[in-house]
Amino acid sequence: AQTVTQSQPEMSVQEAETVTLSCTYDTSESNYYLFWYKQPPSRQMILVIRQEAYKQQNATENRFSVNFQKAAKSFSLKISDSQLGDTAMYFCAFADRDDKIIFGKGTRLHILP
Amino acid sequence: DGGITQSPKYLFRKEGQNVTLSCEQNLNHDAMYWYRQDPGQGLRLIYYSQIVNDFQKGDIAEGYSVSREKKESFPLTVTSAQKNPTAFYLCASSPRGVSYEQYFGPGTRLTVT
């Protein structure tokens, strides 16, 4: 069965710093999709970034980028120039052939002023 | 304005009562999902539906039931058989296919006493 592991339950960084959230996953599939979702204090889930496994180029969305290491089954999220509004729970997620997504347990990120 | 609505935002019930959580989407998405979120547990899939009149159990379906009579609607009933129903419930939808992101509703906080 596929699993998604986020090894950092909670992190804190100063505003404007760069922070990296870790995610590893386990699968025997070769084609799949990876996601990072953000859940701010409002609890509204928002997609941050998506990566297709067959694409070697790392996805980037403004200040958010990923480091996708397929062989290592690693999918970390880097947030550059962190802002107070980045304070949230961040969930790594994985999807393959089935129409369902498996989520990690999340990393609670605090951006400190 | 397209999106997913869940109502109510907060719901209180007495133990032993069944309760139905509403989820409606006007995004014309084929697939819909119900998740349960508990502290430290991430999102766990309860049920999902890829087309009208069809649905599948997720990882924690026991004590829950769903219906999918219309494309726009996917209500979740929390039955009295659910041993620990107090939780935050999230509904999501997506176009069919795992490459697509899921769009989430604002959630319903259910408290059973």
pLDDT higher than threshold 90 for residue A77: yes
Alpha helices in B3-111 (DSSP H): none
The pLDDT assigned to B39 comes to 84
Mutation for B interface: A7, A36, A100, A107, most B CBs within 10 A: A100
Euclidean distance between CA atoms A66 and A78, whole angstroms? 6
From the list A98, A101, A105, the residue facing B102 with the nearest CB is A101
Average pLDDT over residues A39-53: 94
Share of chain B above pLDDT 70, in %: 97
Q: Return d(Cα B104, Cα B101) in angstroms, integer.
A: 10
The pLDDT, as a whole number, for residue B1 is: 62
Determine the 3-state secondary structure of A86 from DSSP. Answer: helix
Q: Look at residue B100 in the predicted model and tell me its pLDDT.
A: 79
pLDDT at A98 over 90: no
Q: Measured between CB atoms, does B5 come within 8 Å of chain A?
A: no
Q: Is A98 on the interface with B (CB under 8 A)?
A: yes
Strands, E assignment, chain A: 3-5, 10-14, 19-21, 24-26, 33-39, 46-52, 60-61, 64-69, 74-79, 88-95, 101-103, 107-112
